[in-house]
Amino acid sequence: MAEALEVKGKRVLVVGLGKSGVASAQFLHQRGARVTASDAKAEDDLRADIRTLLDLGVTVETGGHGERTFRQQDLIVVSPGVPTNVPQLAQAKAMGIPVIGEIELASRYLKGHIIAITGSNGKTTTTALAGDVIAWGGYESQVGGNIGTPAISMVAEATDDTYNVLEVSSFQLETIQTFRPEIAVVLNVTPDHLDRHGSFELYLAAKKRIFENQTSSDFAVLNSDDPQTSGMGKGVQSQVRWFSRKKEVEQGAFVRNGRILYRDDSGEHEVMPVSDISLKGAHNLENVLAAVCVGMIIPCEPHRIRAAVKEFKAVEHRLEFVATVNGVDYYNDSKATNVDATIKALESFPGRIHIILGGKDKGSPYTVLNNLLRERVKRVYTIGAAAAKIEKEIAGATDIVHAETLDFAVRHAFESAAAGEIVLLAPACASFDQFESYEHRGRVFKDLVNALAEKQKAVTS
């Protein structure tokens, strides 16, 4: 753990009042800081989030960021959803005011061990699974970060023996300084968040920062099959463990004859048969291999890792089975917020798919979906702000229905899909044009599907 920050009596500004921002403001107030919180959203949009802060006596600024507010601080803590290049932050940095993110703040206080997991896709599932593996292994663990519970909220429960398993995003890694995970995992890197980072190179650079403070006593876990992560091993100071579903690796986890094995300096260890994995899709085999590496490094007994994986169920909004209605299976993959995640979702089913695409565009091309759309998809239903762009780039690949809303898309798919087919929400876009979050979008989808299921049950009973 890096040296804790001394914040008592200091003026600290928290920028962005999402879940992690509110938690940071509460934490800093409890430690005696003079806290101000600032968000560009209007007060009415934040009322539920800021009520607790106002009750504590925290100064709250809404509807924009005042330049004077930023200048009068000893420390600024920025939430991951706030771009680091906003003028007020740039000016504060130029004045020598320290600017850090919530994940950096948490790491200064978090007792125990830090395991950090990132990647364009699969990081939530892998983080949850790694937490289960560690717990089944007999160790104290807690899971948080970008997965839901802010890292700063984990400080209260952490002890010197706790394994803190954190999902970390590129946005969070942009603002680290001393953040040092004992085990750092990069699952894959494909184009995502280009609207925020500006280029794939800058996005990739943000992901690589997960290793920057590691030493030779730490571990880097990397996907040997991914073209971007396979080159990262050369530049790290830590010990590298690879995982691959396509080939054997010298140090790490791999598949041979339908079984997962792990190899390190102590030899080769059989962990489990691939058939014990209940999660759908080749990408989830990669997620399991990464979690196996984490478990074996700690170390956990192979039979305990096998039990954890065997009992693990899909995380909500990640290829989550919702219901079967009239013989049609409905799957919620609302977390497929980029094109590569949608490719992985499509690859998880052999065909006869009705897919819902669209939302807020993130700057990646949709043309790369066309081969899979031709091979496996009967119909695409487009929704949201990116609908016109998607329709233009996938024209001719399969049938397209301009649905506009998720409600219309689900109803139209219900009317069109036949028994034995799949209806899949895997939007390839962010959710913020029509929904509060991908979780909100996924819950709405599930509510719509379950309403159809109840209606059909009433008809047939």
Question: Catalytic amino acids?
Answer: 123, 146, 193
111 DSSP 8-state letter: -
- For β-strands 259-264 and 113-118, DSSP reports them as unpaired
Angle CA 390–393–394, to nearest 5: 85
Q: How far apart are CA 26 and CA 52, in angstroms?
A: 8
Q: How far apart are CA 125 and CA 377, in angstroms?
A: 25
Q: Please list the residues that pair with 240 across neighbouring strands.
A: 220
Q: How far apart are CA 378 and CA 368, in angstroms?
A: 17
27 DSSP 8-state letter: H
Residue 346 · residue 377 · CB < 8 Å: yes
Can you read off the two tokens belonging to residue 325? 């209605």
Strand order in the sheet with 75-78: 59-61, 34-38, 11-15, 75-78, 99-101
Q: How far apart are CA 335 and CA 317, in angstroms?
A: 6
Q: Which of 228, 109, 123, 135 is nearest to 185 (CA)?
A: 123
